[in-house]
């Protein structure tokens, strides 16, 4: 019997005849105070077991009219002691008939299982189907009843009600679980989104830092080159000074026979000194130009401020600095075609310098070891755009690499010198073109690479032209 303890076995019997209620009670209720010995003896002798002993403890309630039945269902609902099953008579004068009562009961408690008990053919199954539609919680029982049939129906229908509740509970629990999981997933998703945002921000900052530090490194290289280039005018200046000193010393140490001789010597020394002084002046002005343009470049390369500048001016200035590169200066044959019109662009000057330097450096690297390296630099306007083309006579870009060259860290150059081994092979980190792309895309511009039909690679930089002045 224990298996039924937590289950609901409340049954409502609705019939206008008192005797019917009695019949149900006899069929569904267990006899009280049964003697177990007598029961087992009965089973042994008659070889049957009492069906009733298999019954759960039903709680039976009675209603004699439809309205009373509805009131009981409502009350039971309020007390959370709902009925699992209702045996419903059809004809119950003078009140509602069974069909109307069922309809009203289901409005209050749609879970209740119903067995319609009727002896009359006043409602066919089709009528009831039309009334309620397909309902699996409704079955027919013809009067007069067969007691086994009543017990079976009571047992199956109450069990069905209980299973339905359990399934609903499980469903609710599952829904709650799903709800909790969904909330957790949403939380996790939100966290991931925030992390992503932070990561993107960090990546952005790092990229900018990298571009900045790379630019500073380029400036550093330039400084080395310039210092090297300062040597020539400096040497010629100091040599001229030494010559002047020697000429003056010789002049003052020499013994002159006559004042005339001394005057002639003096004139020749003055001429010599003037010549050397003009050398010194030239060298000084060369050095002056170098240092002041170096100052401008390092200042503008470090500045992060956008300015409107003429692309041609920038290219010219960068070409000056490239003179510091021995190979560029002496070995590479250069064709420079800068458009006659000014090509104004609005950007950080150091950034375009960085793009230019990267492209020229790549071209020089690509032509490393070639007999007649040649490089052409071309600027021109194109509608709303300003373009810069750098073409070299190197081997060009392998077809398999053309899609990869703008990816960070893609390089075909030596990355690290093994054991500090000295070699003049070009080295690279594979960040140059990626940085160029970052800089240009940030401006609404672009960079493209292609192979020239004759030989070498062509890089085309496109920058939005500006009409703004700063």
User: Which residues sit at the interface with ligand ATP, rule CB under 6 A?
Assistant: 358, 362-363, 366, 392, 394, 396-397, 401, 405, 410-413, 428-434, 457
φ, ψ (nearest 5 deg) of residue 171? -60, -45
The first and second tokens of residue 210, run together, are: 């990298």
Q: Which residue is nearest to Mg ion (CB)?
A: 432
Which of Mg ion, ligand ATP, none has residue 411 at its interface (CB below 5 to 8 Å by kind)? ligand ATP
Is the CB of 138 or the CB of 405 nearer to ligand ATP?
A: 405
3-state secondary structure of 343: coil
Interaction of residue 393 with Mg ion, rule CB under 5 A: no
Which of Mg ion, ligand ATP, none has residue 157 at its interface (CB below 5 to 8 Å by kind)? none
What is the rounded distance in angstroms from the CA atom of residue 102 to the CA atom of residue 116?
A: 9
Q: To the nearest whole angstrom, how small is the minimum distance from the Cβ of residue 325 to ligand ATP?
A: 14
Stretch that binds Mg ion, among 67-75, 207-215, 359-367, 395-403 (CB under 5 A): 359-367
Is the CB of 63 or the CB of 433 nearer to ligand ATP?
A: 433
Residues 466/346, Cβ–Cβ less than 8 Å: yes
Is the CB of 73 or the CB of 458 nearer to Mg ion?
A: 458
What is the rounded distance in angstroms from the CA atom of residue 335 to the CA atom of residue 127?
A: 101
Is the CB of 51 or the CB of 425 nearer to Mg ion?
A: 425
Is the CB of 322 or the CB of 457 nearer to ligand ATP?
A: 457
Is the CB of 294 or the CB of 397 nearer to ligand ATP?
A: 397
Is the CB of 107 or the CB of 450 nearer to ligand ATP?
A: 450
Say which residues have a Cβ less than 8 Å from residue 316's Cβ, sequence separation at least 6: 338
Stretch that binds Mg ion, among 46-54, 62-70, 355-363, 457-465 (CB under 5 A): 355-363
Among 62, 155, 237, 362, binds Mg ion (CB under 5 A): 362
Task: Please report, as residue ranges, which positions from 414 to 443 form the binding site for Mg ion (by CB under 5 A).
Answer: 432
Is the CB of 293 or the CB of 446 nearer to ligand ATP?
A: 446
Q: To the nearest whole angstrom, how small is the minimum distance from the Cβ of residue 436 to Mg ion?
A: 9
Strand order in the sheet with 113-118: 59-63, 10-14, 85-89, 113-118, 138-142
Is the CB of 272 or the CB of 412 nearer to ligand ATP?
A: 412
**Strand ranges for 276-338 from DSSP E:** 307-310, 333-338
Residue 278: how many other CB atoms lie within 10 Å: 11
DSSP assignment letter at 444: T
Which of ligand ATP, Mg ion, none has residue 77 at its interface (CB below 5 to 8 Å by kind)? none
Q: Given its phi and psi angles, is residue 383 left (phi above 0), alpha (psi -120 to 50 degrees) or beta?
A: left
DSSP assignment letter at 110: T
Is the CB of 84 or the CB of 457 nearer to ligand ATP?
A: 457
Which of ligand ATP, Mg ion, none has residue 413 at its interface (CB below 5 to 8 Å by kind)? ligand ATP
**Strand ranges for 342-443 from DSSP E:** 344-347, 374-382, 385-392
Bridge-based pairing state of the strands 374-382 and 385-392: antiparallel
Is the CB of 162 or the CB of 429 nearer to ligand ATP?
A: 429
Residue identified by tokens 């077809």 is 399
Closest residue by Cα to residue 158 from 111, 100, 108:
111
What is the rounded distance in angstroms from the CA atom of residue 465 to the CA atom of residue 379?
A: 12
Q: To the nearest whole angstrom, how small is the minimum distance from the Cβ of residue 455 to ligand ATP?
A: 10
Q: To the nearest whole angstrom, how small is the minimum distance from the Cβ of residue 213 to ligand ATP?
A: 12
Q: To the nearest whole angstrom, how small is the minimum distance from the Cβ of residue 438 to Mg ion?
A: 14
Q: To the nearest whole angstrom, how small is the minimum distance from the Cβ of residue 397 to ligand ATP?
A: 4
Q: To the nearest whole angstrom, how small is the minimum distance from the Cβ of residue 225 to Mg ion?
A: 17
Which of Mg ion, ligand ATP, none has residue 405 at its interface (CB below 5 to 8 Å by kind)? ligand ATP
Q: How many helices (H) and strands (E) does the chain have?
A: 11, 12
Residues 302/344, Cβ–Cβ less than 8 Å: no
What is the rounded distance in angstroms from the CA atom of residue 415 to the CA atom of residue 427?
A: 6
Which of Mg ion, ligand ATP, none has residue 49 at its interface (CB below 5 to 8 Å by kind)? none
Task: Please report, as residue ranges, which positions from 232 to 251 form the binding site for Mg ion (by CB under 5 A).
Answer: none
CA distances from 314 to 83, 116, 227, 348 (A): 92, 98, 21, 11
Terminal-to-terminal C-alpha distance of the chain: 96
Q: To the nearest whole angstrom, how small is the minimum distance from the Cβ of residue 432 to Mg ion?
A: 3
Which of ligand ATP, Mg ion, none has residue 233 at its interface (CB below 5 to 8 Å by kind)? none
Which of ligand ATP, Mg ion, none has residue 412 at its interface (CB below 5 to 8 Å by kind)? ligand ATP
Burial code (b: 16+ CB inside 10 Å, e: under 16) for 44-75 equals eeeeeeeeeeebbebebbbbbbbebbbebbee
Bridge-based pairing state of the strands 333-338 and 374-382: parallel
Gyration radius (Cα) of the chain, Å: 52
What is the rounded distance in angstroms from the CA atom of residue 112 to the CA atom of residue 89?
A: 15
Q: To the nearest whole angstrom, how small is the minimum distance from the Cβ of residue 402 to ligand ATP?
A: 9
Which of ligand ATP, Mg ion, none has residue 445 at its interface (CB below 5 to 8 Å by kind)? none
**Residues in the site for Mg ion, rule: CB under 5 A?**
362, 432
């Amino acid at each position: 019997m224990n298996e039924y303890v937590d289950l609901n076995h409340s049954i409502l019997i609705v019939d206008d005849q008192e005797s019917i209620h009695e019949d149900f009670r006899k069929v569904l209720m267990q006899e009280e105070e049964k003697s177990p010995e007598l029961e087992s003896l009965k089973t042994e002798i008659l070889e049957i077991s009492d069906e009733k002993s298999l019954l759960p403890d039903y709680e039976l309630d009675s209603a004699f009219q439809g309205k009373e039945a509805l009131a009981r269902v409502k009350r039971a609902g309020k007390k959370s002691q709902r009925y699992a099953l209702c045996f419903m008579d059809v004809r119950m004068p003078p009140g509602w008939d069974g069909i109307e009562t069922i309809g009203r009961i289901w409005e209050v408690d749609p879970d209740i299982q119903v067995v319609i008990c009727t002896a009359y053919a006043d409602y066919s199954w089709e009528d009831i189907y039309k009334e309620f539609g397909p309902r699996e919680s409704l079955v027919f029982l013809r009067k007069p009843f067969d007691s086994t049939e009543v017990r079976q129906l009571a047992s199956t229908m109450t069990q069905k009600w209980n299973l339905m509740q359990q399934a609903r509970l499980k469903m609710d629990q599952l829904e709650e679980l799903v709800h909790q999981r969904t909330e957790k997933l949403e939380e996790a998703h939100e966290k991931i989104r925030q992390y992503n945002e932070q990561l993107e921000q960090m990546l952005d900052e790092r990229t900018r830092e990298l571009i900045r530090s790379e630019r500073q490194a380029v400036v550093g290289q330039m400084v080395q080159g310039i210092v090297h280039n300062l040597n020539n005018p400096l040497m010629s200046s100091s040599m001229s000074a030494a010559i002047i000193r020697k000429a003056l010393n010789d002049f003052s140490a020499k013994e002159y026979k006559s004042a005339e001789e001394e005057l002639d010597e003096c004139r020749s020394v003055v001429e010599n000194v003037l010549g050397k002084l003009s050398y010194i002046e030239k060298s000084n002005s060369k050095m002056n130009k170098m240092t002041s343009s170096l100052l401008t470049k390092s200042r503008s390369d470090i500045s992060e401020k956008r300015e409107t500048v003429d692309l041609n001016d920038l290219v010219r200035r960068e070409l000056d600095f490239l003179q510091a590169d021995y190979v560029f200066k002496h070995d590479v044959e250069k064709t420079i075609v800068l458009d006659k019109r000014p090509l104004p662009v609005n950007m950080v000057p150091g950034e375009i310098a960085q793009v230019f330097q990267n492209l020229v450096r790549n071209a020089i690297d690509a032509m490393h070891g070639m007999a007649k390296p040649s490089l052409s630099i071309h600027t021109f306007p194109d509608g709303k755009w300003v373009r810069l083309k750098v073409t070299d006579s190197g081997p060009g870009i392998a077809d398999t690499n053309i899609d990869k060259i703008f990816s960070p860290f893609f390089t075909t150059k030596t990355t690290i010198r093994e054991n500090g081994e000295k070699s003049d092979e070009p080295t690279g980190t594979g960040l140059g073109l990626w940085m160029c792309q970052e800089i240009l895309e940030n401006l609404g511009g672009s960079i493209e690479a292609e192979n020239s039909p004759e030989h070498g690679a062509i890089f085309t930089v496109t920058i939005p032209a500006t009409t703004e002045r700063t």
